[in-house]
Structure 1
Amino acid sequence: MVGNDRRVHNRTAMSAKVRVTHEELGEFVFSTRDISDGGVFVVVDTEPFEPSIGDQVQVQVQGLPVPAPVLDMVVVRKTNDGFGLQFADQ
Protein backbone atom coordinates (compact mmCIF):
# COMPACT_ATOMS: atom_id res chain seq x y z
CA MET A 1 0.00 0.00 0.00
CA VAL A 2 1.18 3.50 -0.77
CA GLY A 3 0.63 6.50 1.54
CA ASN A 4 -2.93 6.65 2.88
CA ASP A 5 -4.19 4.06 0.40
CA ARG A 6 -5.88 1.41 2.57
CA ARG A 7 -7.28 -0.59 -0.34
CA VAL A 8 -7.22 -4.34 0.09
CA HIS A 9 -8.48 -5.32 -3.39
CA ASN A 10 -7.12 -4.40 -6.81
CA ARG A 11 -9.35 -2.03 -8.80
CA THR A 12 -10.47 -2.65 -12.36
CA ALA A 13 -11.65 0.31 -14.44
CA MET A 14 -15.27 -0.31 -15.39
CA SER A 15 -17.94 2.05 -16.61
CA ALA A 16 -21.46 0.77 -16.05
CA LYS A 17 -24.76 2.33 -15.10
CA VAL A 18 -25.98 1.44 -11.62
CA ARG A 19 -29.13 2.31 -9.73
CA VAL A 20 -28.33 3.37 -6.16
CA THR A 21 -31.20 3.47 -3.67
CA HIS A 22 -30.85 5.20 -0.31
CA GLU A 23 -33.67 4.84 2.23
CA GLU A 24 -33.89 8.59 2.92
CA LEU A 25 -32.34 10.23 -0.16
CA GLY A 26 -34.16 8.22 -2.83
CA GLU A 27 -33.13 6.51 -6.05
CA PHE A 28 -30.38 7.64 -8.43
CA VAL A 29 -28.60 6.33 -11.52
CA PHE A 30 -24.82 6.81 -11.60
CA SER A 31 -21.86 5.54 -13.59
CA THR A 32 -19.16 3.44 -12.03
CA ARG A 33 -15.47 4.30 -12.33
CA ASP A 34 -14.01 1.08 -11.01
CA ILE A 35 -14.90 -2.16 -9.30
CA SER A 36 -13.08 -4.64 -7.09
CA ASP A 37 -13.82 -7.74 -5.05
CA GLY A 38 -14.62 -5.40 -2.15
CA GLY A 39 -16.82 -2.78 -3.77
CA VAL A 40 -17.38 -0.14 -6.40
CA PHE A 41 -16.78 3.58 -6.92
CA VAL A 42 -19.73 5.58 -8.27
CA VAL A 43 -19.24 8.93 -9.98
CA VAL A 44 -21.63 11.67 -8.86
CA ASP A 45 -21.69 14.64 -11.23
CA THR A 46 -24.66 16.92 -10.68
CA GLU A 47 -27.10 14.80 -8.68
CA PRO A 48 -27.84 16.04 -5.13
CA PHE A 49 -26.65 12.79 -3.52
CA GLU A 50 -25.02 13.34 -0.11
CA PRO A 51 -25.05 10.15 1.96
CA SER A 52 -23.03 9.86 5.16
CA ILE A 53 -20.13 7.47 5.64
CA GLY A 54 -21.65 4.28 7.04
CA ASP A 55 -25.01 4.68 5.28
CA GLN A 56 -26.42 1.57 3.66
CA VAL A 57 -27.58 1.63 0.04
CA GLN A 58 -28.87 -0.90 -2.46
CA VAL A 59 -27.10 -1.10 -5.83
CA GLN A 60 -28.22 -2.76 -9.06
CA VAL A 61 -26.40 -2.78 -12.40
CA GLN A 62 -28.64 -1.44 -15.17
CA GLY A 63 -28.84 -2.23 -18.89
CA LEU A 64 -28.23 -5.99 -18.77
CA PRO A 65 -30.37 -8.43 -20.77
CA VAL A 66 -31.77 -9.80 -17.49
CA PRO A 67 -32.31 -7.99 -14.18
CA ALA A 68 -29.13 -7.94 -12.07
CA PRO A 69 -29.30 -8.78 -8.38
CA VAL A 70 -29.81 -5.95 -5.91
CA LEU A 71 -26.77 -5.76 -3.63
CA ASP A 72 -26.54 -4.25 -0.16
CA MET A 73 -23.58 -1.88 0.10
CA VAL A 74 -22.16 0.60 2.62
CA VAL A 75 -20.78 4.08 1.88
CA VAL A 76 -17.13 3.92 3.00
CA ARG A 77 -15.45 6.83 1.18
CA LYS A 78 -16.34 10.24 -0.23
CA THR A 79 -14.31 12.23 -2.75
CA ASN A 80 -14.93 15.35 -4.81
CA ASP A 81 -16.37 13.29 -7.66
CA GLY A 82 -18.19 10.43 -6.00
CA PHE A 83 -18.42 7.69 -3.40
CA GLY A 84 -16.74 4.40 -2.60
CA LEU A 85 -19.21 1.67 -1.76
CA GLN A 86 -18.28 -1.58 -0.05
CA PHE A 87 -20.25 -4.79 -0.27
CA ALA A 88 -22.16 -5.11 3.01
CA ASP A 89 -20.98 -8.67 3.63
CA GLN A 90 -17.28 -7.65 3.62
Structure 2
Amino acid sequence: MAGQDRRQHIRTAMNAKVKVVHPELGEYLFATRDISDGGVFIVVEEQAFEAAIGDHVTVQVQGLPIPAPVLSMEIVRRTADGYGLQFE
Protein backbone atom coordinates (compact mmCIF):
# COMPACT_ATOMS: atom_id res chain seq x y z
CA MET A 1 0.00 0.00 0.00
CA ALA A 2 1.32 3.40 -0.89
CA GLY A 3 1.47 6.51 1.27
CA GLN A 4 -0.67 6.95 4.38
CA ASP A 5 -3.59 4.85 3.10
CA ARG A 6 -3.87 1.85 5.45
CA ARG A 7 -7.33 0.78 4.31
CA GLN A 8 -8.01 -2.93 4.33
CA HIS A 9 -11.52 -2.67 2.85
CA ILE A 10 -12.98 -0.78 -0.09
CA ARG A 11 -15.19 2.16 1.00
CA THR A 12 -18.62 2.71 -0.52
CA ALA A 13 -20.30 6.11 -0.23
CA MET A 14 -23.42 5.78 1.88
CA ASN A 15 -25.60 8.56 3.24
CA ALA A 16 -27.81 7.15 5.99
CA LYS A 17 -28.94 8.26 9.42
CA VAL A 18 -27.60 6.22 12.32
CA LYS A 19 -28.30 6.29 16.03
CA VAL A 20 -25.05 6.13 18.00
CA VAL A 21 -25.24 5.33 21.72
CA HIS A 22 -22.17 6.01 23.86
CA PRO A 23 -22.30 4.57 27.41
CA GLU A 24 -21.21 7.86 29.02
CA LEU A 25 -22.11 10.56 26.46
CA GLY A 26 -25.61 9.35 25.58
CA GLU A 27 -27.57 8.96 22.35
CA TYR A 28 -26.92 10.87 19.10
CA LEU A 29 -28.22 10.90 15.54
CA PHE A 30 -25.53 11.25 12.84
CA ALA A 31 -25.21 10.88 9.09
CA THR A 32 -22.81 8.38 7.56
CA ARG A 33 -20.33 9.24 4.81
CA ASP A 34 -19.16 5.78 3.81
CA ILE A 35 -19.24 2.14 4.80
CA SER A 36 -16.98 -0.86 4.24
CA ASP A 37 -16.71 -4.46 5.38
CA GLY A 38 -14.66 -3.15 8.32
CA GLY A 39 -16.70 -0.20 9.53
CA VAL A 40 -18.45 3.09 8.91
CA PHE A 41 -17.58 6.80 9.00
CA ILE A 42 -20.00 9.10 10.85
CA VAL A 43 -20.15 12.85 10.21
CA VAL A 44 -20.39 14.86 13.42
CA GLU A 45 -20.76 18.49 12.20
CA GLU A 46 -21.95 20.90 14.95
CA GLN A 47 -22.99 18.37 17.59
CA ALA A 48 -20.92 18.14 20.76
CA PHE A 49 -19.71 14.54 20.63
CA GLU A 50 -16.33 14.20 22.32
CA ALA A 51 -15.67 10.48 22.22
CA ALA A 52 -12.16 9.05 22.48
CA ILE A 53 -10.32 6.59 20.28
CA GLY A 54 -10.95 3.15 21.75
CA ASP A 55 -14.43 3.98 23.10
CA HIS A 56 -17.15 1.43 22.36
CA VAL A 57 -20.56 2.46 21.04
CA THR A 58 -23.64 0.85 19.59
CA VAL A 59 -24.90 1.88 16.15
CA GLN A 60 -28.28 1.34 14.50
CA VAL A 61 -29.37 2.50 11.03
CA GLN A 62 -32.56 4.58 11.23
CA GLY A 63 -35.45 5.05 8.80
CA LEU A 64 -35.79 1.49 7.54
CA PRO A 65 -39.19 -0.24 7.24
CA ILE A 66 -38.19 -2.62 10.06
CA PRO A 67 -35.78 -2.01 12.95
CA ALA A 68 -32.15 -2.54 11.93
CA PRO A 69 -29.84 -4.61 14.11
CA VAL A 70 -27.91 -2.83 16.85
CA LEU A 71 -24.18 -3.26 16.18
CA SER A 72 -21.28 -2.94 18.61
CA MET A 73 -18.47 -0.77 17.25
CA GLU A 74 -15.17 0.73 18.38
CA ILE A 75 -14.03 4.27 17.61
CA VAL A 76 -10.74 3.90 15.75
CA ARG A 77 -10.21 7.25 14.02
CA ARG A 78 -11.12 10.90 14.50
CA THR A 79 -10.99 13.64 11.86
CA ALA A 80 -12.09 17.27 11.78
CA ASP A 81 -15.56 16.28 10.57
CA GLY A 82 -16.26 12.92 12.21
CA TYR A 83 -15.24 9.50 13.43
CA GLY A 84 -14.25 6.19 11.91
CA LEU A 85 -15.96 3.26 13.61
CA GLN A 86 -14.87 -0.37 13.30
CA PHE A 87 -17.25 -3.33 13.58
CA GLU A 88 -16.53 -5.54 16.58
Would you say same fold, with TM above 0.5?
Answer: yes
Normalised by the shorter chain, which TM-score bucket? Answer: over 0.9
Shift of 1:12: 0.1
Matching of residue 82 in structure 1 with residue 73 in structure 2: no
Sequence identity (%): 68
What is aligned with 1:67? 67
The answer for unaligned runs of 5 or more in structure 1 is none
Other structure's SS at 1:48 match? coil
TM-score using structure 2 length? 0.98
What is aligned with 1:28? 28
Give the count of matched residue pairs: 88
Other structure's SS at 2:60 match? strand
Instruction: Give the 4+ runs in structure 1 shifted more than 3 A.
Output: none
Instruction: Note the alpha carbon deviations across 1:15-71, whole angstroms, 9 max, x for none.
Output: 000000000000000000000000000000111001100000000000000000000
Shift of 1:2: 2.9
The answer for unaligned runs of 5 or more in structure 2 is none
Other structure's SS at 2:42 match? strand
